[in-house]
Amino acid sequence: MPAIVVVGANWGDEGKGKVIDFLAEDVEVVVRYCGGHNAGHTVKNPLGDFAMHLIPCGAFNRKAVNIIGNGVVVSPEAFTKELRMVQDAGIDMTGRLFVSDRAHLILPYHKMLDGLDEKRWGENAIGTTGQGIGPTYADKAARLGIRVGDLMDGEAFRERLRFVLAQKNRLLTQVYELDPISFDELYNQLMVARDDLMPYIAETGTMVRKALAEGKRVLLEGAQGTLLDIDHGTYPYVTSSATSASGAALGSGIPPTQITKALGVFKAYTTRVGGGPMPTELFDDDGAQMRDRGQEFGTTTGRARRCGWFDAVAGKFSVEVNGFTGGALVRLDVLDVFPTVKICTGYRLDGKVTDEFPSHVMDLERCEPVYEELPGWLASTGNARSFADLPANAQAYVRRLEAVLDCPFDVIGVGATREQTIHVRPVL
C-alpha cells in the first residue's frame, strides 16, 4: 500500500500534530522524516496534552510502529526526555519505536555554535530556536557529522568524536575565543546517552520499505512547513532540512513512487515565528485577537507567533510545490468572532499585482497584500461535526479558499481535540 505524507503548507505551526494524531489511528507505521526537536507538534487526546518534538505523533496509537527517520537530527537529551514523558503517560514504546542509524546526532557544540552565530549576526540573525539544528545539518553536509549508528561501536565512535571535536575546538578557541570542550567529559556524557538510545537504533529504511511491500499503511510526518524548506522556502529565513513532500522519501528511505497522497495542513489564518517577511502580518487588534484565541505561542520556544489573514498566494505556491492531493484546514474556530474575514489573493509588488509567490526574499519584503473580503459568521463552530453543521458564511469561506488554492479540504478542524474534527472525505 502506498504512503501518505502530511506537510505543513506555510511557515510551520499549522496544526500538523492534531492531524497526524488522528490519522495515526488508522495506520501501521508513522515516520518522522525531517527536522529535529526544534519542531513542536501539540497533541491533545484522552491521556492529556503532549508537546511532541521528536517522537512521531503515532506514539499514542498502541498498534503503530514509530520511526525517527534518517533525515532527522537527534538530540540524545531531547529523545530521552520525550521518551520518558510518553512512558509516564502509560504508553509502552517497546518494539514500537526505532531511530535510524543514519540519523545525525546533535551534540553540545552544535547548540553552542547556533547561539554564537545568531549573536554574531546581530540584526541579520535568522531567529533560530537555538537548538543546534542548523550546525548539525551543516556538519552533515560537510561530512563532519556523527551518526546515531556510530554509537554502536564504542571504539570507532571514540576516534570519530576525537577527530571532529578537534575541529570544533579550533573554531571555539580561535574564532570565538572560548575554552575548548573537554573530550573526556563529552565522551562520558555521550556514553550515558548511548545506553538510552541503543535499544531503539535500527536500519529503519529497510523496515519502512518492507512495511510498504507487505501492504501496510505508512504515514510520513513532516516538521515545520513548506515555506521553511531549505530549497523552496523564504531563504535565508528557513530551516536546514527538506520540509516539503519531496523530502519525505529522502528522509525516510523509500522510493518517491511509493508516495501517492500528500495532505497539506493549512491554518484558517497565517502565522510565522522568527525573522523573515510575512506580507499579511497584522499589527492591530485583529492580529492580537488571533494570537490570543489561537494560543499562538511556540511549542518549542514559547515565542509569540506573528499572525495575519490567510495568505492564498503562499498557499497556492505550497499546493504546487508539494502536489497536494487534499488539504486539512484547521483552527477555523479562531475566526468565529470576526465580523469580516479576509483572504490575500495577490501581492502588489512595484506597482503591479501578481498572484505568484516571489522566489527572492527581497521581493517578498516589498509585497503588499491584496485582499478579498468576505462576511464573517459570528457564531461558534466548535460543535460542528459535519460540513453542513458549519454556519453558511463559514462554509462560503472554506469553499472560497478551496477555489483560490485549487485544493479540496478533506479535513476541517474546529477546535483542539480529536472530536472537533470534520471529516469531509476519506484521507487514507
Listed residues 178, 197, 216: the one ending a domain: 197
User: Which one is catalytic: 37, 41, 104, 110?
Assistant: 41
Render pLDDT for 332-387 as a digit per residue (tens, 0 to 9): 999 999 999 999 999 999 999 999 999 999 999 999 999 999 999 999 999 999 99
Strand 368-375 to 409-413 pairing? unpaired
Catalytic residue chosen out of the listed positions 13, 139, 229, 286:
13
Q: Which conformational region is residue 274 in: left (phi greater than 0), alpha (psi within -120 to 50 degrees), or beta? A: left
Domain count, the chain: 3
Q: Which amino acid is at 423?
A: H
Same domain, yes or no: 226 and 334: no
Q: What is the CATH number of the domain that holds 45?
A: 3.40.440.10
Q: Residue ranges of the alpha helices (H) in 280-371?
A: 285-294, 312-322, 361-365
44 or 167: which carries more pLDDT confidence? 167
Q: What is the DSSP string of 99-141?
A: EETTSEEP-HHHHHHHHHHHHHHGGG-----SSSHHHHHHHHH
Domain around 227:
3-101+201-262
Q: What is the pLDDT of residue 407?
A: 98
User: Is 406 marked active-site?
Assistant: no
Average pLDDT over residues 145-166: 94
Quick one: 207 and 239 in the same domain? yes
Whether 17 maps to a domain, the answer reads yes
Q: Are residues 375 and 228 in the same domain?
A: no
Q: Are residues 387 and 286 in the same domain?
A: yes
Write down which residue in 213, 229, 262 finishes a domain.
262
Last residue of one domain, picked from the residues 210, 243, 262: 262
**120 and 87 in a common domain:** no
Same domain, residue pair 282 and 271:
yes
Cis peptide before 236 (omega within 30 of 0): yes
What is the rounded CA–CA span in Å between residue 275 and residue 173?
29
Considering the domain boundaries, does residue 173 fall inside one? yes
What is residue 72's three-state secondary structure?
A: strand
Residue 428 lies in a domain: no
* pLDDT of 167: 94
252 lies in the same domain as 320: no
Are 223 and 307 in a shared domain? no
Q: Are 214 and 358 in a shared domain?
A: no
Q: Give the position of cell 517577511.
A: 277
User: What CATH number has the domain bearing residue 186?
Assistant: 1.10.300.10
pLDDT in the model for residue 51 = 82
- Measured between alpha carbons, how far is 38 from 55 in angstroms, rounded to an integer? 12
Q: How many CA atoms lie within 13 A of 75 on its CB side?
A: 21
CA distance 149 to 402: 44
279 lies in the same domain as 396: yes
312 plus 412 within the same structural domain: yes
With a CB cutoff of 8 Å and minimum separation 6, the contacts of 166 are: none
Co-location of 316 and 368 in the same domain: yes
pLDDT at 1: 66
69 in Cβ contact with 100 (< 8 Å): yes
Q: Is position 423 annotated as part of the catalytic site?
A: no
